[in-house]
C-alpha cells in the first residue's frame, strides 16, 4: 500500500503504517493542483482540513482505497462520491473528545466567572471585585445539541457540577441515562439556561443557530460552540446579545475561518462587533488540540485503518 500524507499529524501514524510494510509519502506544501496530479499513484490518503477531496480529485484517484481524516469532521471529503467509488472513509473523533469536553467546560467557567476580564484588569493593577462577581453552574439546565463523541464527553465531564443535562440528537435515540435526559429539540429550547453545540457541519446544520432558533428559546441563555463556525449565524448572534436574548457566548469556532481552520478570512465588520462584547469569549479552534489528543487522534486512526485492511 502506498499512502499520501497531505497534512501533518503525529509521527506515530506514519510509523504504524510503515511497520505494516506500507510506503508513506509526506509532501509538505501540497497544492490542490499537485494533489490532483499525483493522487492516482496512491492507495490511501491522510488528511486534516488543508485540501478538500472533492469530486474532481476523487474521480482521478483511480487506485484509492481509503481516506483517513485525522479528526472528527468529514466536511473536507465528498463522502457521497467516495462511497460511490468504493473508497472507505475513516475518522478519529474518539481521539479528541476528551479535549473538546474539557475545553467547553473551561470556556463556560471562564465566561461565568469573568476570568479573562479579571485577569487583564489585575495585571494592569485594577482591582474590581463586585464588577467581576461570577455565576455558578450548579442548578442550571444545560442543553446539548448533538450527542456523539463530543456531546457525550461534555455531558460526562459535567456530572460533578450538579447540573440538569438535557440532550437532543436528530440521528440518535435511547441514549439517556441517570444524568442525561433525552429530549426533543423544542423541549431543549424551552428548558435550557446554557446551550452547547456538538454537531457536524452539514447542509442541515449550516446556520442552525439563527434568529428563529434563538427566538424559539423560552429563556435568555448562554451559548457554547466548539463544533463548526457556520453552525451559528454570527449576525443573529450579535443581535441577540444586544437584545439580551443571549446572555453570553463561548466560541472556539467562528464562521470566518478559512477552510483549513489555520487562519481567518478578511474580517468583516461583524467580527469586530462580536469581539467587542465583554460577555463573548473566543479561542482559535483549539478545543480539540491538546498534546494528548494529537497522539490519540493518530493512534485511533491507525488502528481503524489497519484493522480494516490487515487484521
Catalytic residues: 228, 257, 285
Q: What is the CA 248 to chain-centroid distance, rounded?
A: 19
Give CA angle at 145 (185, 98), nearest 5°: 160
Return the exposure string of 14-28: e unless at least 16 CB atoms fall within 10 Å of the residue's CB, then b: bebbeeeebebeeee
Could you give the CA distance from residue 237 to residue 214 in angstroms, rounded to a whole number? Answer: 8
Q: What angle do CA 26, 72, 235 make, to 5 degrees?
A: 115
Interaxial angle between packed helices 97-112 and 115-123, expressed in degrees from 0 to 180 and rounded to the nearest 10: 60
Phi, psi torsion values for 257, nearest 5 degrees = -75, 145
Q: Which of 182-212 are b and which e, b meaning 16 or more Cβ less than 10 Å from the residue's Cβ?
A: bbeeeebbbbbbbbbbbbbbeeebeebbbee
> If you count DSSP H runs as helices and E runs as strands, how many of each does the chain have, helices first?
12, 12
C-alpha grid cell, residue 20: 505494516
Amino acid at each position: 500500500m502506498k499512502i499520501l500524507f497531505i497534512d501533518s499529524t503525529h509521527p506515530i501514524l506514519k510509523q504504524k503504517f510503515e511497520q505494516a510494510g506500507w510506503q508513506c509519502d509526506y509532501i509538505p506544501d501540497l497544492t490542490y493542483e499537485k494533489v490532483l496530479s499525483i493522487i492516482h499513484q496512491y492507495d490511501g490518503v491522510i488528511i486534516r482540513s488543508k485540501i478538500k477531496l472533492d469530486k474532481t480529485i476523487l474521480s482521478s484517484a483511480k487506485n484509492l482505497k481509503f481516506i483517513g481524516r485525522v479528526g472528527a469532521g468529514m466536511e473536507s471529503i465528498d463522502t457521497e462520491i467516495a462511497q460511490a467509488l468504493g473508497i472507505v472513509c475513516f475518522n478519529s473523533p474518539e481521539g479528541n473528545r476528551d479535549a473538546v469536553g474539557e475545553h467547553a467546560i473551561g470556556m463556560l467557567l471562564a465566561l461565568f466567572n469573568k476570568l479573562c476580564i479579571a485577569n487583564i484588569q489585575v495585571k494592569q493593577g485594577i482591582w474590581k471585585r463586585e464588577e467581576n462577581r461570577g455565576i455558578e453552574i450548579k442548578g442550571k439546565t444545560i442543553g446539548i445539541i448533538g450527542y456523539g463523541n463530543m456531546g457525550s464527553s461534555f455531558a460526562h465531564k459535567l456530572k460533578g457540577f450538579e447540573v440538569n443535562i438535557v440532550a437532543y440528537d436528530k440521528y440518535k435515540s435511547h441514549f439517556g441515562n441517570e444524568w442525561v435526559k433525552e429530549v426533543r429539540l423544542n423541549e431543549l429550547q424551552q428548558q435550557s439556561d446554557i446551550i452547547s453545540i456538538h454537531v457536524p457541519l452539514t447542509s442541515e446544520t449550516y446556520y442552525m443557530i439563527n434568529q428563529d432558533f434563538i427566538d424559539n428559546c423560552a429563556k435568555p441563555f448562554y451559548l457554547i460552540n466548539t463544533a463548526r463556525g457556520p453552525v451559528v449565524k454570527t449576525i443573529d448572534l450579535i443581535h441577540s446579545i444586544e437584545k439580551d436574548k443571549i446572555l453570553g457566548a463561548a466560541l472556539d469556532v467562528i464562521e470566518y475561518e478559512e477552510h483549513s481552520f489555520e487562519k481567518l478570512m478578511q474580517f468583516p465588520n461583524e467580527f469586530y462587533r462580536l469581539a467587542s462584547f465583554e460577555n463573548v469569549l473566543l479561542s482559535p479552534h483549539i478545543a480539540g488540540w491538546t498534546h494528548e489528543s494529537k497522539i490519540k487522534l493518530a493512534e485511533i486512526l491507525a488502528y481503524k485503518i489497519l484493522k480494516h485492511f490487515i487484521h
